[in-house]
Each structure stands twice: as C-alpha cells, then as structure tokens.
Structure 1
C-alpha cells in the first residue's frame, strides 16, 4: 500500500449510540470500534482532518431521531471541538450536506472511511466519493453490518453482507484495506 496522503481525511460514519440497539440484529466484526479508535488516535496525533458523520432520522420511530439517546455519538468516539461534524438524513454523507465542498476548500483528495453500516451508509458514501473523483479507502475491519434478509426471505449472515459490500466497493469505487495496513502506511 502506498503512503496515506498527509491531509487524508478520516471519515467516521454513524458511530452513534443507536447502533447498539438490539432490534438491529446480530452484527459482524465485534472489534470494529477498537479499530476505529486506533485510526482516530493516529489521525489526532498526526493532526490530520477528521470528519464525524451523524445520521439524523426524519422518522419519528427511529433511534436516530434528534433528542433520542441513540442519536448521540458513542462516548469513546465523540468528536473533539475542532473536528468537523456532518449531519445527514440519507445514507450518503455527500447528499445535501456540503461535505464535497468542505473537502475541496481544504484540497483534500483522499478519504479513509470507517463506521457503519457497511452495506448502507459506508457503501453509499464510498460510492459517491469515488464517483466524485476522491481517492477512497475503506478500512474493512473498522466497519460492520448486521444480518440481513433478502427479498426472497433468505437470511444472509452479517459476515457475508459485509464481504459482498466491500467487494462491490473494490470493483470501481474504493480500495479496501485492513486497519493495520492503513496505520503502517500512515
């Protein structure tokens, strides 16, 4: 892996307390938060740009609705005062948030994406970033998803959903690495 750009932004997607809601089901990658924390610490130490993305749901029943505890950032991954926060209402962090402009104003071309849900907000944001011309890297072991039932009623294990989502991204939109590889090239 080539070295990470000096101004590469770490984009932490939807690491909110609501992701622990048991109604979301069984998840994969129980060490994801630890890997995200390792990358966050490295980015803070190097004084590289960090962007925290928070999902703000429009649904009254959602744990991600403003004012609900689930909407808040997880305590160990809470943004510092100088770190940029993006609030979104759809899975894609580029959609109607000003994120693209924020990155261009700072001449940031490379993004390291971590967070949840792999096949939802992570994938849609990485796809948009790749389509917009950013050099997108996804940290495979710093993301997770949940078991998912497809339209035919078949239950897919979170591990399989995660692997397929990352494979989709690696085809055209992003490069996929492990946290250790990113830290080694940091």
Structure 2
C-alpha cells in the first residue's frame, strides 16, 4: 500500500536575533525574503501547515530577554504552530516530531537561516526520524565563513553548494520553490 504524502513547511530560525551577529550580511536577504514569502503563500493556498521554529539561548541576542526572538518583518505572519528550540535541529528540544506525527505529516519542506547549520542539521534528523524531506536551498540563507586553519573564506554560495552536495540523495531532495510547491500535499 502506497503511503500518501502529507506535508508541512518548517521555517527555521528566521528571526531578528541574527541582526546582532557579526557575520550578518544584508545583500542576499531580499532574494531570500522573496523566495520564503512565495513558498509560505503557496503553502497557505494549499492548506499546508506552516511551522515556525525559533532558536533560543539563555543569554545574548537569541535569549528571550533580548526581545529579538521574533520573526523578521518580511516573514508572512501566518503560521500554524511555533516551537522554540535550544539545539541546532528543530526536533531534539521541541515537540515538533509529536506535532507532525499526530497530524499524519510525513513530508517536511525545509527553509530558514542558516543553510549549513540549523537547516542542514534539521534535515538530517528529519530523515533519520523517517520523514521525507525537501530542502529548498533558495529559501535558505547563510553567510560567508572563514576556515580557521587555512584562512580560506567560503562564500555563501559555496556553502549552499556543499550543503546540497551532502544532502541530495542521502537525506533530502534538493528542490526550488516551484518544485517544492508542486510536491506539497495538504
């Protein structure tokens, strides 16, 4: 018997806390914001649940006391549920798995900030938990990083390509926004 796909979008860490990080860069935000909004509005039109995940730490810009653990203004306000996480993935310290399972959701669409960190880690854990995973790279955001030992700087694009390389066919399907919307089922 074929299992029917039932989808949800995970919007991971798209929060104002990042504005206080030294690596924050604005140049790729407009394209990211556009792709994210298109994905969320498309999911809403299909009645696919939108799950907002916020990263919380005890101190600093990711603490609740900072007032920055809230979505960027460019994020569409509609969401079906919000979880706060303290780990790099959206499952370990939240009730996300239970929430998805109780609703019969077996397919998650990954979007958010940082491509190679919380988005990639959530993808791996989701796959290991038995979810079908679509990774929408163009609806993730990251920043250049410098390799400490070699001093080489990796661009955001290089980091996204590396993430696609290690996820594709192992933990997720790499899709664009249009493909993600085509594959979603309420």
Asked whether the two chains share a fold, i.e. TM above 0.5, the reply is: yes
The unaligned stretches of length 5 or more in structure 2 are: none
Kindly indicate whether the alpha-carbon contact (under 8 Å) linking 2:110 and 2:123 is maintained by their aligned counterparts in 1.
yes
Match of 1:119 among 116, 119, 126: 116
Specify the alignment match of 1:16 in structure 2.
15
Which consecutive segments of 4 or more residues in structure 1 shift more than 3 A? 25-30
Query: Equivalences for 1:13-162 in 2 at 5 Å?
Result: 13-21=12-20, 23-26=22-25, 29-30=28-29, 31-58=31-58, 60=59, 62-77=60-75, 79-80=77-78, 83-152=80-149, 153-162=151-160
Aligned-pair CA distance for 1:36: 0.7
Report the aligned-residue RMSD: 2.0
Aligned-pair CA distance for 1:73: 1.1
Aligned-pair CA distance for 1:129: 0.4
The unaligned stretches of length 5 or more in structure 1 are: none
Q: How many residues align?
A: 179
TM-score by length of 1: 0.87
Q: Counterpart of 1:172 in 2: which secondary structure?
A: coil
Aligned-pair CA distance for 1:184: 4.1
Q: Deviations over 1:126-184 (max 9, x none)?
A: 00001111000011100011111123132211111111012111141111111122234
